[in-house]
Amino acid sequence: MKKVYKYLFLIIAFTSCTDDFDDSLSDNDSNNTNNTTQGAAVVYDLEKVPKITLEFKLADWNKLLLNYDLNSKNEKKVVSKFSYEINSETIILDSIGLKLRGNTSRRRPEGANGELHNPNNPDWHHCHFGLDFSKYKPTQKFKGLNKMVLKWFKDDAAYTREIYCYNLFRKYNVWTAPRASYCRINIKVDGDNLPANYGVYAMIESVDEDYIADRSSQWGNSVGFLWKCGWAGWNNANFVSTQSIGIENVTLNPATSVYYAYDLKTRDLELGTGSAELISFINDLNTKTGTEFKNWISQKMDIDLFLKTYAVNVLVGMWDDYWVNANNFYFYFAPNGKAYFIPYDYDNTLGTSLLMANSGTQNPLNWGTNSGERPLISKILAIPEFQTKYKSYITELTSSQNDLFYTTHSINRINAWQAIIAPYIYNDTGEDMILNDVPASWGNCSFYRLLSGNNQGGNNGDANYFSSRILSIPF
């Protein structure tokens, strides 16, 4: 029987637990990995499944739970010990910052609201984590990285959708896409006999200053203005409105938390300058037409890279995106004078379909709205030269000659990944413990499969997403 504690007791017991660094933590400089900077290219290796253990003092773990109860979307971090094991290598950082992540997918990692950690009968839950290696030690990094995202495979029993999409971006030289690979997660709360096995997670590159630095050869060494773009209440990042621009502040009080469609992630002391640049871009995007628009957008963006990004986007069925839902992307104004569209959040893809009748058969030229509500894509594709390039990229991606989206190539990659992670799927949450080739249950295309099925897009039983998508391309 779980014990449920009232909030009065909780407030008293944890008043002393602040978000600041606890000086009592050991300062094990021998585990500081600044001198072994290897970067994202080494960390995100799809042929390896490292084990990550996150260890908490009891008070810090309970603080994470209670903060969730106060505001499930809060961005407060707690102290965790981080251990990374791969082959014969072990790296330990004794004090990193950890927070919960996710929008509609955010969850409490243990128990129900109001409950503290139960060492005798814990009720573990899968959830997303954000790691900040330098939160409490400014010079501390993990293999040269400052942050990392750990995501459970919510609604993806195949354990593959987000991994596949980011891998396809990278294979097609969309270098703006984050890297991703697999890992295993353990959670250890002080006093427990054994750590909790959380099973297989996606380990995803954080879009931040390190991400920018890793790509400095493409867009310059200094840091420009990075915007996280998506939904914020009824406002959305559609490049039409300029009414929701700022720096989000999500606290433990939902009533005082502030959200923006365009949320500045770098150079936060220069919001005015960054906002002016963004507003100028949006205004020019909306007002310029004809040859003037073509010349302007060609100078302002890497059009080929953007069209390649969207060719991948519509093939993998990313409907929770800019074109359809005005959501889930970053936009970066680089020091080289160009602006870059950065794809992000690809768990609801490859047959997990919503907001359109069938994401596996939708015309790539009519993926989302073309009514002027998404000018960044509609105005670019309205230019014949750019539309021709876009079509050619889709043709390249779907060709059997290229190891990209084509059905057998995709199936081979997924089979290889699943063979690597299959021994580690079983976990102590009791969730998602069987590899199953089905899309999310809440989607509108339950017939899609990744490793089997016909090419008929749901018109005759189970359909293979890749072959159905390829056959649906009208050019």
SS3 416: helix
Element containing residue 261 per DSSP (H, E): none
How many angstroms separate the CA atoms of 141 and 127, rounded?
A: 23
How many angstroms separate the CA atoms of 464 and 447, rounded?
A: 8
User: Which of 131, 141, 73, 143 is closest to 107 using CA atoms?
Assistant: 73
- The residues, any chain, with a CB within 8 Å of residue 289's CB and separated by 6 or more, are none
pTM: 0.92
pLDDT at 356: 94
Q: What is the DSSP letter of 232?
A: B
pLDDT at 38: 57
- Backbone region of residue 355 per phi and psi (left: phi > 0; alpha: psi in -120 to 50; beta: other values): left
26 exposed, middle or buried (CB, 10 Å; 0-12, 13-18, 19+)? exposed
pLDDT tens-digit profile, the chain (475 residues): 333 333 333 333 333 344 443 333 333 443 444 433 357 889 999 999 999 999 999 999 999 999 999 999 999 999 999 999 999 999 999 999 999 999 888 999 999 999 999 999 999 999 999 999 999 999 999 999 999 999 999 999 999 999 999 999 999 999 999 999 999 999 999 999 999 999 999 999 999 999 999 999 999 999 999 999 998 877 899 999 999 999 999 999 999 999 999 999 999 999 999 999 999 999 999 999 999 999 999 999 999 999 999 999 999 999 999 999 999 999 999 999 999 999 999 999 999 999 999 999 999 999 998 778 999 999 999 999 999 999 999 999 999 999 999 999 999 999 999 999 999 999 999 999 999 999 999 999 999 999 999 999 999 999 999 999 999 999 9
The end-to-end CA distance of the chain, in Å, is 62
User: Which of 223, 181, 230 is closest to 329 using CA atoms?
Assistant: 230
What are the two backbone dihedrals, phi and then psi, of residue 194, each rounded to the nearest 5 degrees?
-135, 155
Pairing state of beta strands 51-56 and 180-189?
A: parallel
Give the CA angle between residues 148, 154, 155 to the nearest 5°.
Answer: 150
Element containing residue 201 per DSSP (H, E): strand 196-205
Pairing state of beta strands 180-189 and 225-229?
A: unpaired
Contact of 151 with 202, CB cutoff 8 Å: yes
pLDDT at 34: 43
